[in-house]
Amino acid sequence: MPERILVTGAGGFIGHHLVGRLKADGFWVRGVDIKYPEYETSVADEFEILDLRRFDNCLVATRNVHQVYNLAADMGGIGYITAFLARISCNNTLINAHMLEASRLNGVKRFLFSSSACVYAQRKQKSAEVTPLKEEDAYPAEPEPGYGWEKLYAEELCRYFGNDYNLETRIVRFHNVYGPLGTYDGGREKAPAAICRKVAQAPDGGEIEVWGDGLQTRSFMYVEDCVEGLVRIMHSDYCEALNLGTDRLVTVNDLVHLVCGIAGKRLRKRFDISRPQGVRGRNSDNTRLREVLGWEPSVPLEFGLTITYKWIESELLKKACTQTAEAA
């Protein structure tokens, strides 16, 4: 009898990819989200539309499962998470608290919480040449307003449920996940998807807008690496927070250059420093990840961006063809 697994946020980018991986590994999977996956049908054994801000729905979602990957969250790129602090904080606090309590009451054996690098102290991220962030750098606390504070508190809540109720919890701090089947427009997209979209839409020799001065730095992890890491961390015996990301630091300008190369375009950059930029630099220290798992993300940025760009380009072409047909 295969283990029964719940993936919340299964209508979203990482959750959808995770469901596919777990099914390929032979598990029975229930997907839950407030929406269905946007770009392809889920392969989950069951997919239920539930608003997990409601406790009764969390009880329904966690029935008769052994493991929970709690990826459900109200989130998006830097423009989104800096614009809706109260809404994001309230929504995610409700989801996480209710999911932990429902999992406890329904006898879930193991619960994985998807946290974020936004929990890290902002004072350690003021330089583009940032020192890679170790897990202990989240304290003394000074996380990203709203989203970061909510994630950091939920990490503590996981520890409390482990200590008070013996609920096995795992905590994963994501560092900038990208790949195909993710949001690439509408305001919630992350930097790699936004840049891929802008480059795809620009004519060769044209111009694209870049938020900030382009010198801010990040590391980026391909979604297949992310899913592999999630599965490995869930199956590990480690219950403290772990970074999950790459430790290759690149500027936003580097990212634009790579995508332009993939597209075969020469484009000018127009910088808008009035736009949200987030911290000046952020990178993952993978020392503890390697110690715990004997593994770390390894998909090269150039490879992952090529797949991502081609997928976004194809989606834009589909939309353009649909609009042309509707106008005819």
Active site residues: 147
| 270: its two tokens | 């127009």
State the maximum Cα–Cα separation within the chain, in Å, rounded to a whole number.
64
Kind of pairing between the strands at 250-251 and 217-218 = antiparallel
Give the per-residue SS3 of the chain.
CCCEEEEECCCCHHHHHHHHHHHHCCCEEEEEECCCCCCCCCCCCEEEECCCCCHHHHHHHCCCCCEEEECCCCCCCHHHHCCCHHHHHHHHHHHHHHHHHHHHHCCCCEEEEEEEHHHCCHHHHCCCCCCCECHHHHCCCCCCCCHHHHHHHHHHHHHHHHHHHCCEEEEEEECCEECCCCCCCCCCCCHHHHHHHHHHHCCCCCEEEEECCCCCEECCEEHHHHHHHHHHHHHCCCCCEEEECCCCCEEHHHHHHHHHHHHCCCCEEEEECCCCCCCCECCECCHHHHHHHCCCCCCCHHHHHHHHHHHHHHHHHHHHHHHHHHHC
Query: How many residues are listed for the chain in this entry?
Result: 328
Tokens 């202990």 found at:
136
Handedness of CA 221, 227, 230, 235 (dihedral sign): negative
Instruction: Name the one residue in this structure whose structure tokens are 């798992």.
Output: 293
Are β-strands 4-8 and 168-174 bridged in parallel, bridged antiparallel, or unpaired? unpaired
